Chain A
Amino acid sequence: MVGKKMIWLGVAILFSTLWVWGTAHAVSEIRIGQIGPTTGWATMFGTEGLNGVKLALAERDYKFKGIPIKLFTEDTKADVEVMRTKLDSFKTRDKVHFIIGPSLGHEGMAAVDWGARNPDVPILIGYSAPEDITMRKATPSVIRPGWTGPQVIFHFGKFCAKDLGYKKVIIVGQDYSYPWDQAAGFTRGFLENGGEKVERIWHPVDAVDFSSIMAKLTGMKKEYDAVLCNSGGAQVVAFFKQWYQFGLDKIYPQILGQANVPIVPMLTELADMALNVYSSLHYYDGNPSEANMKFRESYLKAYGKYPSVIAVQGYDAMRVAFKAMEAIDGKVDDPKAFITAVRQVKMRENESPRGPFYFDKFGNPIQNIYIKKVVKKDGKLMNIAVKTYKDVSQFGPYAAMPEKYMAQPATSREYPPGNKDDYFREIEKYFGKDYMAELKKNNGWKE
């Protein structure tokens, strides 16, 4: 029993060595915490975001009006328990003035929950896209200079129905909230603009063998017009590969992709398989604007590869923070003032690689949405915009009635219904007869 008791002493000693933590810091520097998954399966999503933040800081030499800026970075391991620990560390140990991140859907939801309990630490959400961060769970201290899943895909549904003329579409995706959101946004745009049916197939998040699904898709060709790949990261690579192996490219027209499918890092891996893929996003890498060109080149110089939208958002988040700091003259130690300033930031044309944007009252940007197509230019694959929808809010076509939109249940595997009749019955419940009549009159959404 000797050592055991002694170890209790050891525990005490360990505790006392940590005593020193949390002592007061000087106020003469701006402290920023950046968080995201930089190890594990989601490494790509965390690292690119971090690189973007660093690039924006390096542009200003890690200084704001002579005040040095210190960046603290932490890894979430894609685990929310770890993330909450790190957020607490940022707050109580590093005493950061604000936090940028995280990147993944469930991380973002946990971060907004933390934000509601710690309203004195502003959070600028990174790539994380669940609607509720800036809708049902919105809290003043959490602002998202990013996007929501449905925001970028509402109009893609419309595009597929109106411009590509599809009537019935199959969505194959990973079984968790982010792809559910994407499927929901697409379904709304598609069915309200003349589409007839959306069938959804869900597979485990980390599935890599899609052969059974390919078999199923082969059999479904009789009824359906097109397939939308609703996954991200490694699953996209596996899906595309097997799509071609099973010869599905010959029986379906060009595969459609959700927002994360043809982003820059994926293009390198997918190579020619990605050619002609349609998708939609609030950024496209082939944007010829001056801001985008400059950003791409300096990113390439710093990190040896071209940036993706994830990096753009890290970059934008930091630049939004800079603009807010300018408005309050660097007084980041007043979180209320900083939050108010961030919410009033307006990025003008050519200020951000993605184009102009500003925040709605929930803290999500109102921004351009681009319908993209992958093309080959000078031997390199890139996305070009085939259509641009300007100033789209997170409520998309329902921007005038956010309360009605939020009264609907959260999206799930089956919600909203993918069948035209069920769908319209459902939205009539929430948006009323007037909306239905207007849809009918305009034959879909107004331009």
Chain B
Amino acid sequence: MIKERFFLYRKTFLALIVAGIFISIPWVTSDFFVLMAIRVMYFGMLTMSLTFLAGELGVVSLMQASFFGIAGYFVAILQTRYGLPFPFPPLVGIAVSLIIAGLLGMLVIRVRGIYFLMLTLVLGQLVWALASQWSSVTEGDTGIMNVYAPVLFGISMEKSKTAFYYFQLFFFAGATWFLIALRRSPFGLMLRGIRESESRMRMLGYPVSLLRYAAFVFAALVAAIGGVFFVYFMGLINPSSVSLATNVETLLAAILGGINTLAGAVLGTGILKTLDVVLSGITKRYLLFMGIMFLFVILFAPKGIIGTVRNYGRSFLSPLMRWFGLGED
């Protein structure tokens, strides 16, 4: 009886474990770890927006950091220059980012495959060029400084990193839930249909382009939320946040974790950011090391850690997974 009952709730149980781990981080780990976790979460949102597109539309974008950065820039500008009170800067920032995603989406949604990658690369560079050269608005390469995280319920997110962590965790969990729910919704199913056979879906009368367009805008939303936390945590924003390097790094994180999955995005970002800090302390040649590592991941495990674990780890880990009710789906 009890056992049956337990199995009924095992997925909830697992979710509780994961939630418990995330919630307990500030209590059981060091300050440094909390800072790293905050970083992984905001970059994780950026990477998730990329993997969502890769998973649902089958395209690789090199401009997600633009939406991340646009939201960040607007928060910074509205707060430092116009003194708008919280929560208006982030709301406007995300809205502007979505509007721009809406406009650019009309351009990019028409192309597929490698063309999509190149087009988003150029559009991303366009945003970067604006950020670095339109200095009356963006203050050029120096960027905008003196951004402070808000005070919520009497707690300053600026002073207490733990508070900031929970503040962000709330939205991070929300964004993750949003993407998972989207994927499982009829909308997600339609996207899956398009991915498998676009012509069939079109024949069946589904508004294929509109669906793809909507997915692009949703992805931008998640990146924009990440951007808001980025600027609050960093306290400044400059063109490097929308640069090609940031976009490439996001892509690499996605590949490392598994480009088609949301969990892979977070895992990949976590590993990449950790390696960055650990390796660069040990050797000056960490770029070389990373390049070689990526080459191997791409050649031998193109589905990333998640895909590889799914392929090979199943038999080895299946008893444990079955226990958690994570059978075949």
Contacts and interface: CB of A to CB of B under 8 A. Distances in A.
Given A2-B326, A3-B306, A75-B284, A113 B235 contact: yes
Contacts, number: 167
Interface residues of A, number: 54
Interface string B306-329: 110110011001000100101111
Interface in B263-289: 263-264, 266-267, 270-271, 273-274, 276-277, 280-281, 284, 286-287
Contact of A8 (B132, B263, B271, B287): B263
A204 B314 CA distance: 53
Given A12-B18, A113-B236, A413 B32 contact: no
Given A4-B306, A18-B274, A11 B236 contact: no
A401 to B, nearest CB: 25
A349 interface: no
Contacts of A260: none
A8 B135 CA distance: 42
A81 B326 CA distance: 38
A11 B172 CA distance: 15
Given A23-B30, A109-B145, A177-B141, A7 B234 contact: no
Contact of A106 (B142, B274, B309): B142
Contacts of A117: 158, 235
Interface stretch (B1-9, B34-42, B292-300): B34-42
A4 B141 contact: no
B162 to A, nearest CB: 13
Quick one: which of B158, B263, B273, B314 has the most chain A CB within 10 A?
B263
Contacts of B234: 80-81, 84
Contacts of B135: 175-176, 412-413
A22 interface: yes
Interface residues of B, number: 69
A395 B14 CA distance: 63
Contacts of B284: 38-39, 75
Given A2-B321, A106-B141, A92 B263 contact: no
Interface string B129-169: 00011010000111101100000000000100000000000
A88 B18 contact: no
Contacts of B133: 175, 204
Contacts of B204: none
B21 interface: yes
Interface string A189-213: 0000000000000001100000000
Interface in A289-337: none
A130 interface: yes
B217 interface: no
Quick one: which of B35, B262, B267 has the most chain A CB within 10 A?
B35
B281 A7 contact: no
A426 interface: no
Nearest to A94: B281
Nearest to A106: B142
Interface string A89-108: 10011000000000001100
Contacts of A110: 143, 145, 236, 238
B197 interface: no
Contacts of B146: 113
B245 interface: yes
A105 B309 contact: no
Contacts of B236: 80, 110, 113
A222 interface: no
Given A15-B33, A89-B277, A176 B141 contact: yes
A177 B142 contact: yes
B17 to A, nearest CB: 8
Interface string B241-254: 10101100000000
B196 interface: no
Contact of B28 (A19, A72, A113): A19
A79 B236 CA distance: 12
B125 interface: no
Majority secondary structure of chain A interface residues (helix, strand, loop or mixed): helix
A6 B245 CA distance: 30
B309 A39 contact: no
Contact of B267 (A7, A18, A130, A204): A7
Contact of A11 (B31, B267, B276, B277): B267
Given A9-B18, A11-B267, A21-B33, A109 B142 contact: yes
B79 interface: no
B145 A2 contact: no
A81 B245 CA distance: 12
Interface in A1-60: 1-12, 14-15, 18-19, 21-23, 38-39
A2 B28 contact: no
A198 to B, nearest CB: 19
Contacts of B280: 74-75, 86
A350 interface: no
B290 to A, nearest CB: 11
B327 to A, nearest CB: 7
Contacts of A80: 143, 234, 236, 238, 240
A443 interface: no
A109 B258 CA distance: 37
A245 interface: no
A22 B145 contact: no
Contact of B262 (A4, A22, A85, A86): A4
Given A5-B263, A11-B21, A92-B31, 8 more contacts: A3-B306, A12-B17, A14-B271, A19-B28, A21-B33, A79-B243, A81-B230, A175-B133
Interface of A: 1-12, 14-15, 18-19, 21-23, 38-39, 72-75, 77-82, 84-86, 88-89, 92-93, 105-106, 109-110, 113-114, 117, 130, 137, 175-177, 204-205, 412-413
